[in-house]
Structure 1
Amino acid sequence: MEFCQARIPNTGIDKSKIDRILENPILKAFASGSCSGIICTTLLQPLDVIKTRLQNPVLSLTSHSTGTKIIPIITDVIKHEQISGLWKGTTPALMRSVPGIGLYFCCLEYVKTRFFNKKTPSPSESIFIGVIARSMAGATLMPMTVVKTRFESGVYQYSGVMVALQDIFHHEGIKGLTRGLVPTIFRDAPYAGIYFMFYNQTKSAVPKDIYSMYPSPVHFTCALVSSTLASLVTQPPDVFKTQLQLYPNKYNGLWSVVVHIYLRYGILGYFQGIVPRLMRRTLVAAISWTLYEKVMTRKSI
């Protein structure tokens, strides 16, 4: 941004070297992702809280009607935990999302420029790029994902993030800190790949004159459409991930979660929490990708 170009006093610092650093696409990608992570997490955390509680079998899986459960859950949270309860888990969410989205865009930009030196990747290349970038970012920040889910659920009453990390490690070991890694990868990697493919294809389908006149609205709209399609496809793994992280002693593994939910709640059990997740995912994608595209086309950050 413009403040980065302010004149530096005569301190012997090479301004041209600083400009080259600030022009680094990897740094710009990380900066845009981190900024969007702060904005999205702060504004949209209540949707994650609602989604997690909808996926909690003790609270919600006894009903097949996701939409009609949202208002009672919001009312219950406010009644017992005040309005701040809707932002429960914000601290671990920020600790996960700020570096997480930044790292994702960082990996995305690196893979895209290093291995696919094209203006617009093909559909198969887009899927590959998205899968690799999301897998790297997701696996790195998995412990914070576990803590975030438990804070949001209302089942665990940790006093802080470090207390949660220490407690999980003490009672469950490293396995506890990576609980739900497989379904998380199964959710995030296909989501990122499918999303990136749809995003590139919808963006390329927009007439060039419209794109040149309204780039940000085009990016925002393409992100909304692409995220909606990708979220619908990857909803079941999100449910599996939540169950494994909330009730580690109840299931022997991923397959036991799949079977348990189907036998007890049917196919609809795999789509609990779809409404708030869809709302959050689409808004996060729209905000973060619009900002990312804006930053990457600027001459400096």
Structure 2
Amino acid sequence: MSDNVAHALSGAGGGIISMALTYPLITVGTRLQVQRNNKDASAYSGNIDALVKIFSQEGISGLFSGLESAIFGAALTNGVYYYFFEAVKAAFERASQRKSMTTVESMISGAVAGAMTCIITNPIWVVNTRLTVKQKKQADVEGAEAAPTTLSTFAEIIREDGVLSLWQGIIPALILVINPIIQYTAFEQLKNKVESFRKLGNMDFFLLGAVSKLAATSVTYPYILVKSRMQLKQSKNENERYDSLMDGLRKVIKHEGIAGLYKGIESKLLQSVLTASLLFMSKEALFSYTIKLLLLIGARKAAIAK
């Protein structure tokens, strides 16, 4: 068995850990991203206000709305991404006989891995986005039924909007492949430079992950916001329905101004940086244990030094 599987498994484990620890920030960020009417009495005025209102109105569970689907999505997303990224990386290294990739090779590896990940996992994030927002709406209704589950929301989307609606927002999601391209290219290049003069430790992976994700999210945030809104059930209101990525960007600017493209960016940056840092650190730590586990169960003949 190749290292690709070990990287996929350790990446999935790292994704679960980082997602679980930072999920309240995702809830706050998502609610702010999809909020269009800032003048409504129940509207969130900012990140802290959103955090306080969600906690006071819905309790701690409100901050973890849709966590089940997010955990599954994080595991699958990171597993798929690392599998394809490492597969393409290994192909480049075999072809060039080098132990590290060039910047262009890193970008190509990230593009291939990112595209495959988007196509495979988009339905999970459509469900998660709707769960994260729907929890608040149901909590505001007296006598509301129990909070929707991942499976019930999945079935509801198919029943009401059709199977293809599970890939709503796929175009901005594919464009957002540039996010991990920037992130992993920056990470790989920085890692190679540091490794050229000393061995990396857990804190190095944490800091490198933080820097690389900060750069990626800052550049791509307007696309992230539009993708989140496109993944919701589309309104019949012309001003609130986005027919395409460019249509969404145009309408946000028209009705909310340039600042509207950056709603919730503070919590998103904090969550993204923490998630990436924890992901890279835990993934590297889990990799050696994954190799040992594969050896133990006989799925691998000999561990390769990493």
TM bucket, shorter chain: 0.7 to 0.9
Larger mean CA deviation between 285-294 and 117-126 belongs to 285-294
Q: Percent identity?
A: 25
CA distance, structure 2, for counterparts of residue 290 and residue 156 of structure 1: 36
Over 3 Å counting, the alpha-carbon distance change for 1:88 and 1:71 in structure 2 is: same
1:219 corresponds to 2:196 = no
Is the 1:32–1:288 Cα contact (8 Å) retained in structure 2? no
> Which of 229, 236, 246 is 2:222 aligned to?
236
CA distance, structure 1, for counterparts of residue 228 and residue 284 of structure 2: 32
Q: How does 1:2-151 map to 2 (within 5 A)?
A: 21=1, 24-58=2-36, 60=38, 69-117=46-94, 118-151=98-131
CA distance, structure 2, for counterparts of residue 129 and residue 60 of structure 1: 41
Is the 2:24–2:63 Cα contact (8 Å) retained in structure 1? yes
Over 3 Å counting, the alpha-carbon distance change for 1:194 and 1:288 in structure 2 is: same
How far does residue 279 in structure 1 lie from its aligned partner after superposition?
Answer: 1.2
CA distance, structure 1, for counterparts of residue 10 and residue 253 of structure 2: 40
Q: Provide structure 2 residue ranges, at least 5 long, that are not aligned to the other structure.
A: 139-146, 236-240, 294-306
1:179 corresponds to 2:168 = yes
Q: How does 1:180-219 map to 2 (within 5 A)?
A: 180-187=169-176, 189-206=177-194, 208-209=196-197, 211-212=198-199, 214-219=200-205
Partner amino acid, structure 1, of 2:213: S
TM-score (normalised: structure 1): 0.83
1:287 corresponds to 2:278 = yes
Partner amino acid, structure 1, of 2:89: K
TM-score (normalised: structure 2): 0.82
SS at match of 2:34: coil
How far does residue 159 in structure 1 lie from its aligned partner after superposition?
Answer: 1.7
Is the 1:52–1:152 Cα contact (8 Å) retained in structure 2? yes
- What's the counterpart of residue 4 of structure 1? none
How far does residue 116 in structure 1 lie from its aligned partner after superposition?
Answer: 3.9
How far does residue 99 in structure 1 lie from its aligned partner after superposition?
Answer: 1.6
Count of residue pairs brought into register by the alignment = 272
Q: Provide structure 1 residue ranges, at least 5 long, that are not aligned to the other structure.
A: 1-20
Offset from partner CA, 1:62-85 (integer Å, 9 cap, x none): 9xxx9x611111111112111110
CA distance, structure 1, for counterparts of residue 123 and residue 170 of structure 2: 9
CA distance, structure 1, for counterparts of residue 13 and residue 287 of structure 2: 13
CA distance, structure 2, for counterparts of residue 236 and residue 196 of structure 1: 20
CA distance, structure 1, for counterparts of residue 61 and residue 292 of structure 2: 38
How far does residue 253 in structure 1 lie from its aligned partner after superposition?
Answer: 2.3
* Root-mean-square deviation (Å): 2.2
Partner amino acid, structure 1, of 2:124: M
How far does residue 60 in structure 1 lie from its aligned partner after superposition?
Answer: 4.7
